[in-house]
Amino acid sequence: MRKVAVVMGSISDWSTMKLATDILDEFEVDYDRHIISAHRMPKVLQKFGEQAQENGYAVLIAGAGGAAHLPGMLAANTISPVIGVPIESHALHGMDSLLSIVQMPSGVPVATTAIGSAGAKNAALLAAEILALTDKKVAEKLIEFRQKQTQEAIESEKQF
């Protein structure tokens, strides 16, 4: 199985991005965590993106707040799929991050999820779905996950 890179711009993004790794753990998907600032570490970012495939990364999940250049700059330096997670910021509650990530120019796609915790979880699920195209074990875990969600929804009706 190929692995996922979970990349964030700073340690302050970890509380959100940990939710992505929790999902990856649940699906037994191999991943590595990295802190790479697009603004403070541009050469490291470029090298990481350029070497992503040779380092075995099938998918990159990139969480970024504020100007949120990390996902787009990674996407510009790799052909591996990049999933951007807008981190909720204090100034604009993540809208700045969302717009920075989702408004990529034609030719450099970044799949973009919701702001914050839902986005981090969905980024991991999307990465698992991409891996499931060629990994039967991950596909089976996704099917079980969806069935469990359905059953929980059905059972929730009994609570009121």
Question: 3-state class of 35 per DSSP?
Answer: strand
* 136 CB neighbour count, 10 Å cutoff: 8
Task: State the Cα–Cα distance between residues 8 and 96, nearest whole angstrom.
Answer: 16
Task: State the Cα–Cα distance between residues 94 and 114, nearest whole angstrom.
Answer: 9
Judge whether 10 is annotated as a binding position: yes
Half-sphere exposure of 75 (CA within 13 A, CB side): 24
Pairing, β 82-86 against β 111-112: parallel
Judge whether 146 is annotated as a binding position: no
Judge whether 89 is annotated as a binding position: no
Q: Which residues carry a binding-site annotation?
A: 10, 13, 40
Binding-site residues from annotation for substrate: 10, 13, 40
